[in-house]
Structure 1
């Protein structure tokens, strides 16, 4: 409560001074002055209060106007005039002590409209954060009027166009400019160097494709500079960057850097994070004199072409927690001082040519969590103290020359999650307590001389176990439900396999060949309903082959050879689509089922003396009982023809019964268009003839129709018919395709022009793509219904530049679907037959029959059935019904492998599919990768880019969803490859 400015009347009455004493003149004058000042103060307080009320009301109205301009997003419902609360308490609003708006933070609020110019009428606004929204305009130059702005964050929106050259007109007080994750193109204007107050500048994850200016070195107060993941023109690190003496974080991953790392980088004394990965940096890492940046915590120079040795000076960086130098051409030994660094947690030297031994004290003095040194020439043993801190999570020392025992100290390393020690020369018993690590997820130790036994039950979280080509003995363990792969061929395992076949619903691969397993194959093996590879060869199995194997509908590879299996071959196996099939060297008898008498299996039945077949093609005796084999074949063919004729007759009778007018009767048809059209329904309907048929599949037929109503035009019409069996499924496909394709616009997504529907037929009318599908060009075949024909001889193989451009086009389309649509769109059936090519071989994604929009967070995001195409489906599709973008990334990775190898998606030989085969190629050696490249494009000038895209395909098809890149990352790498390829071509 304010104190009274003058004594009260009662006080005067009680005061003898006021009642009886005359006032001196000076005192009277002073009182007069004081009274005037007091009145002035009272008036000022009243005016200030009135002014503050007016300001508050004005800013409240400004905020309401801003909400109107943004289209009243529901997430800003608290901003309304009927809300009696102070506007400073509204969502995302912060105010000063005097009630002026200083802060607007609207993170992830579904804002899609432009930033209103009205926002700068908030004169005290100093902090504006609009991250993770959907604003699609060019850079908002109206923000130049926000004169007090200190912090501006517009990251992860969809801003387009170039950064204006007069960006220096932003507030001269601006300290933070964050524009990451947008679609800005062109160059970064040199004038940005005039924003002298800038401390944090983030321009990463955009599409800048010209240059970054040397004038950035003028920002003497700069502490953070992020330029990563932009396809800049090739450039060196400017010498002006030596002036950035306050810099603590430099992030320039995948920015097309070339040349050497300048020596002055290591003398920036305040530098803490240095990330220059995925560039084209060359030469040795030279540090002239004592290293100045002693505070470095992160060094990432991976995926370049650096040579020479690892600098000894790195062993002096006491704060260093992450050191990534993988994917270079480094040689020599790892400095022993690296093992003494007290903060080191993440270390990767993989894919180099390093020799010598691992630092003996590695992990002893530091909280080491991740160690990658695979694919080098390192010898010696694993350091004894590698898990001394009790924090080791991942160890990958595969493909080296390591020897000796796996350290017994790992017995107590309960933090281990991933162990990769394959392709070394380890020997002795594998530490048994490792299996007690509660988070153990993957263990791969093929190709060593390890011994010991497996636990009675594998850890509950283990998803993948490979111990092939070792000397493990004992019984096969019972397996956890999480297990997807058990690869234990060529060991000394014994017992039976009953434990494997129970309670393992997610198992995809089971390889137990070359062991001492006995007993029967249990009928319970049918519980492994997602199994795609089953190899039990070279064991001591007896009894019959269970018919239940025929229910494993995803099985593509079956090898039961070199056992003692007897009785007949179950005909149920003939219903499987097997790429690899071997029953040789058993005691099987009887006639080979007709469904298995295929040329592809002619060597699958060798050394089974009691087997016979209907011809001598299968290297077994010809069956002598019953009708002659030629007559049997003739009867089978005749029966098939009769069945086909009956089906055709039934179809025509049904058409006659319902009347052909169903297709022609215009009043029964409805039409919805998504673009301005130059044709009417009757034009489309009249073109649905057999002469125009160009394709057929499970969902319907595709026609090529020439329109001549106004302007000669060609469209493709997909006709979907309904049957009782497929009615519900096809209805969902139709609705999904119309909903998605009718609402999106992108140069690399096929245009859905319109749709027509009647009671039992639906038609989707697309733009016509003259060159058909990518599958047609890669595999030189085209398909109509069940017939497959060779491509005409005038179709030449696609060259590498065309293939790379196709990859970029498809990546752009998927990137738009995943990152540019709200909510994101998942295709769910990305494959080469759904990539269509126009007359200039520009690619567009088609066939969204299986696509669906991802639901909002918190709502169910599962599908009712497994969908997709084998060979392109991510492994998790077999057991998980969750829909997410990373499934499309896997499928796109398969397409990259098709483009680089020329192989089909299911062409993986013994490795089940192309993705598995490619992974093995990459694991073996670099020459394998070179050998894998399609001969049609294998030229020295392109070999580097092709190999990189091949490796990117392997990365995209990782069995672990979490290790796959996003489509945005994939696109950036492909753009870089395309730029590099163009530069080579020009040279």
Structure 2
């Protein structure tokens, strides 16, 4: 066998370098090792299971490579939990790092100082806490993007951040920075994007240096405690495109050179204290959005706005502007949304509005505008909201409005319109609200209404004729108000078949005949006013079986007969005065709460002097003495004696049985304050007659405790097995801690009664029960005055906002003022109770946990809570903190604004998931709000509370606000709504423009 020739020394010398290279690990192999260590450091999250030894990391979707070396990592929204990996800079060529929207914890990772080539860093929407390090300038000198928004960084923004000279984007919004922001940021000459919004900085003025950033395109400092005047040198920011300084306390005037910035496209300066006139020099011809609302601006709307051919949104509402709306604005080709309501505008509206653009929102309400409506408002068929109420407009509604198939809201009340409503308007399939009260409209009501119309208000007009026979087709109507018209004929039986009707006002008309004898539906009806008509006959017994009815006014008719004994099951307000009713007042109504409900009915009697009626006696209706036979008297006396004997025997038996039962159960009473009753008062009251509610943990009873009428609520928690000693101690310990809480928005725990088989928690009783019963049609209420004047008060928007603020105060106290802090863990609308004045109180602490230290995570052994209210982190952690309650409270805010139930956004999504989906898809806000309470006057505040609900239900707990912040924002909305209710203002803006879905 021949031998192969040996390689020559020259050939060996040639192959040696290749041998050396192949024997060393490649750069890709080193990077792969680092990445696999990274995966292991994060406990092998399922989202990056495809990272393995057998594949090239440059093929992994999260990894970017350049020349076979890893240069970029993007792991967005992959449920990465834990600390930041200190060895990530072993990737020597890393230039791009994006770990946005995960669950990373700890302080700012200074190990990043070793990433010397880093250009892009995004750690936003995580759990990072503490202060940014003073030496943050040790980050890569090539860093261009520093994105840290929606974490929990606090303190000052360090001055040395200004030494990162190549920064083009600095995004620090939605953190907890409560110190200062350095004026040296103005030295970042390459800065194009600056976001500092929604941080509680120390009140400060805007530094002049910021207005020298020549490359700055986007500048957002909304809600950052800015004070003082704006520096008058906007010309130093020639690249500026978007400016948002809203929700601050900026004073002074708008600098005259603001609208001279030719690249400017969006300006948000709303909700400040700006005064003076709007600058009339306008050169920003690419302007898209101008929002200067909720200031104190005076003067006229500049004619120059009519040159902004790209303008889509003009929002100037809630100022003190005067003069006419410039006709040139009506000719802007891209105008979609104009809101100038609540000013002092006058004159006539240009007929060009809507003719040249796809106008969607037209709101000029609450001004002094006169003349006729423009004919072309819906010329291009896109108009959604038509709001011109509370002006001096006159004439007829243009026929073209009747052809506006897109219209959702039509509100023209409080003007001087006349004539009939265009036939087509009654047939617009998308129409949800028609409010035309306080005009001189005439004509008859149509047989059919738009299929989704939920609110029809035609009060104080001249409508005539009968309620049409087709009224049974008005199935989606919730509110029908037709007071003070010329309607006549009988109240049709079919009107009682409307299943969703909640408010029906027909007072002050010419209705005749008897009331419908049979109530077909009306299961949701809570307010009924038929006063000041010519109705006859008796009050139908069916009225007494309307469980939701709380306000009934039948006064000033010709009704006769007796008052049905069933009436009063749930009535809060009743007026039957000025009729021909006879007989004795039913026992349910024979009390001082109805002291003016029966006046001017000579045939009625009562032995309760507070009702102001003649006393009842053994006299006949004609006034002659009734003669009773002695035999009958003797029989009655005998029967009474027998009944008395039976009662004594039965009472003795019950007492003996009760004592045995008490001895057997060995009840122990623990009171947490001085009480006038004991367990012997409570235990006999645990009967089905006193049962008012039942939940997963037990039944709730309403039990009187004395002859004065005082009552308590008792929650009975039972167990089939005896509770072990450990649970007994834990239960009593927690109860004792909760019993020390004293706050006006937390239900008082008065005492605890316990035995081996049951626990009884004794609470103060709240008359209006739980919030969910009112929100989700389990009951409802209204109030009214005399003479047929009915006014919605219960769970209208101001009432809902009042409830939200009260509940927020209660949770805020638990989280931030209790020592130790209390986390409720089961916040939901059924655990928000309401007293007689609809003050909210947090209740049911069965799942509450006490945190040993403020901010310290506490471990729970099992996942608890209620469907729809549980935050997403419940699925993968046993740690709890206050952000669990914040999430649940956010769901309540969404319930208050949308009217939907927490577990039912639609057939597939919870309410929170549904709300986020709708926001992401850009669904118009008016389509999301509860149509029962929605009025354009409250659009701004309802929108803001809805967005606050989104913020509270952010996926990342770190991104959610604290309850202190929630209270502050609700208080701001509450003040604005109070102004509206007082009739001195109106709100329709957007308090939270930065709460974009992608940023929350």
- Indicate whether the TM-score tops 0.5: yes
| Residue 876 of structure 1 pairs with residue 899 of structure 2 | yes
Check whether the contact 1:530–1:878 (CA below 8 A) recurs between aligned residues: no
Whole-angstrom CA distance in 2 between matches of 1:187 and 1:333: 41
Q: Match for 1:951 among 976, 979, 994?
A: 976
The match for 1:356 is 323
Q: Distance in 2 between matches of 1:954 and 1:579?
A: 28
Q: Report SS of the residue matched to 1:113.
A: strand
Equivalence for 2:29: 57
1:134 aligns to 2:103 (yes or no): yes
Of 377, 401, 404, which aligns to 2:371? 404
Q: Retained in 1: the 8 A contact 2:317–2:988?
A: no
1:835 pairs, out of 811, 836, 842, with 842
Equivalent position of 1:106 in the other structure: 75
**Matched residues in 2 for 1:806 and 1:702: separation?**
31
Q: Is contact 2:552–2:573 with CA below 8 Å preserved after alignment?
A: no
Decide which of 474, 489, 512 is 2:459's aligned counterpart.
489
Report what 1:982 is aligned to. Answer: none
Q: Which runs of 5+ in 1 are unaligned?
A: 1-31, 665-684, 704-717, 736-754, 789-802, 816-820, 860-867, 890-910, 924-942, 971-987
Aligned-CA RMSD value: 5.6
Question: Displacement of 1:620 after TM fit?
Answer: 0.5
Q: Which moved more, 1:598-607 or 1:418-427?
A: 598-607
1:371-390 map, 5 Å: 371-390=338-357
Q: Please identify, of 600-609 and 367-376, the stretch whose mean Cα deviation from structure 2 is larger.
A: 600-609
How far off is 1:131 after superposition?
2.0
CA contact (8 A) 2:555 2:576 kept: yes
Q: Cα deviations across residues 640-676 of structure 1 (Å, max 9, x unaligned)?
A: x99xx99x98997999799669966xxxxxxxxxxxx
Is structure 2 residue 540 aligned with structure 1 residue 533? no
- The structure-2 alpha-carbon separation of the partners of 1:944 and 1:391, relative to structure 1 and needing over 3 Å to count, comes to closer
Any conservation in 2 of the 1:769–1:837 contact (CA below 8 Å)?
no
Matched, 1:768 2:738: yes
Larger mean Cα displacement after TM superposition, 584-593 or 765-774: 765-774
Residues 966-977 of structure 1 correspond to what in structure 2 (within 5 A)? Answer: none
Q: Deviations over 1:890-924 (max 9, x none)?
A: xxxxxxxxxxxxxxxxxxxxx999x999959999x
Distance 1:343 1:389 in 2: 13
CA contact (8 A) 1:511 1:536 kept: yes
Q: How does 1:873-912 map to 2 (within 5 A)?
A: 873-874=896-897, 876-877=899-900, 881-882=904-905, 883-885=910-912
- In structure 2, the residue matched to 1:296 is 264
Distance (whole Å) between structure 2 residues aligned to residue 695 and residue 550 of structure 1 = 46
2:649 maps to 1:622: no
1:247 to 209, 216, 220: 216
Matched position secondary structure for 2:376: helix
Indicate if the aligned counterparts of 1:829 and 1:869 stay in contact, CA closer than 8 A: no
Seen in structure 2, the aligned counterparts of structure 1 residues 545 and 171 have a Cα distance that, compared at 3 Å, is farther
SS at match of 1:562: coil
Cα distance in 1 for residues equivalent to 2:278 and 2:294: 13
CA distance in 2, matches of 1:68, 1:654: 70
Cα displacement (A) at 1:272:
0.9
Q: How does 1:151-190 map to 2 (within 5 A)?
A: 151-190=120-159
What are the Cα deviations for residues 443-491 of structure 1, in whole angstroms up to 9, with x where unaligned? 2211012233154644333222211112233333423443332112122
Distance 1:624 1:559, change over 3 A: closer
What is the match of residue 294 of structure 2?
Answer: 327
TM-score by length of 1: 0.68
Instruction: Tell me how far 1:173 sits from its aligned partner.
Output: 1.1
1:279-310 deviation digits (Å, cap 9, x = unpaired)? 1111112336x966211111111111111111
2:335 corresponds to 1:368: yes
Given that 2:746 and 2:810 are in contact with CA atoms closer than 8 Å, whether structure 1 keeps it comes out as no
Distance 1:303 1:192 in 2: 30
Q: How has the CA–CA distance of structure 1 residues 538 and 855 changed in structure 2, closer, same or farther, with 3 Å as cutoff?
A: same
- Change in CA separation of 1:423 and 1:533 when aligned onto 2, cut-off 3 Å: same
Superposed displacement of residue 254, structure 1: 0.9
- Measured in 1, the distance between the counterparts of 2:904 and 2:606 equals 50
Question: Are the counterparts in 2 of residues 198 and 222 from structure 1 also a CA contact under 8 Å?
Answer: yes
Q: Find the aligned partners of 1:702 and 1:205 in 2 and give their Cα distance.
A: 53
**Matched residues in 2 for 1:955 and 1:152: separation?**
45
Ranges in structure 2 where 5+ consecutive residues have no aligned partner: 1-7, 591-595, 608-613, 620-635, 700-716, 749-761, 769-803, 817-822, 834-838, 846-850, 856-863, 876-890, 917-930, 943-967, 982-986
Q: Does 1:285 align with 2:254?
A: yes
Q: Which moved more, 1:501-510 or 1:246-255?
A: 501-510
**Whole-Å separation in 2 of the counterparts to 1:224 and 1:870:** 32
Q: Name the CA distance, whole Å, in 2 between partners of 1:805 and 1:120.
A: 49
Please report how far the alpha carbon of residue 264 of structure 1 lies from its aligned counterpart in structure 2 after TM superposition: 1.6
Q: Indicate conservation of the 8 Å contact 1:215/1:240, yes or no.
A: yes
Question: Within the alignment, does 1:591 sit opposite 2:591 as a pair?
Answer: no
Shift of 1:966: 8.0
Counterparts of 1:495 and 1:877, CA distance in 2: 37
Per mean C-alpha deviation after superposition, the further-off stretch among 382-391 and 220-229 is 382-391
Q: In 2 relative to 1, CA 170–116 (structure 1 residues): closer, same or farther, beyond 3 Å? A: same
Distance in 2 between residues matched to 1:515 and 1:654, nearest whole Å: 66
TM-score (norm 2): 0.67
Aligned residues: 786
Equivalent position SS for 2:87? helix
For residue 512 of structure 1, what is the aligned residue in structure 2?
482
Shift, 1:586, TM fit? 1.9
Asked if the contact 2:441–2:461 (Cα under 8 Å) also holds between the matched residues in 1, the reply is yes
What displacement does 1:598 show? 11
Q: Counterparts of 1:162 and 1:111 in 2: how far apart (Å)?
A: 22
**How far is the alpha carbon of 1:383 from its aligned partner?**
2.2
Partner residue in 2 for 1:570: 540
2:57 aligned with 1:87: yes
Rounded to whole Å, the distance in 1 between the matches of 2:694 and 2:559 is 44
Deviation at 1:58, TM superposition (A): 2.9
Deviations 1:943-965 (A, max 9, x none): 99977642268999xxxx99997
Q: Which residue is 2:39 aligned to?
A: 67
Report the CA distance between 1:97 and its aligned residue.
Answer: 3.7
How far, CA to CA, are the matches of 1:104 and 1:351 in structure 2?
Answer: 48
From 562, 577, 581, the equivalent of 1:606 is 577
Alignment-derived partner of residue 96 in structure 1: 65
CA contact (8 A) 2:698 2:718 kept: no
1:793-832 Cα distance to aligned partner (Å, 9 max, x none): xxxxxxxxxx9999567469899xxxxx9x9986565454
Residue 143 of structure 1: CA displacement? 2.0
Structure 1 distance, partners of 2:992, 2:940, is: 23
Match of 2:306 in 1: 339
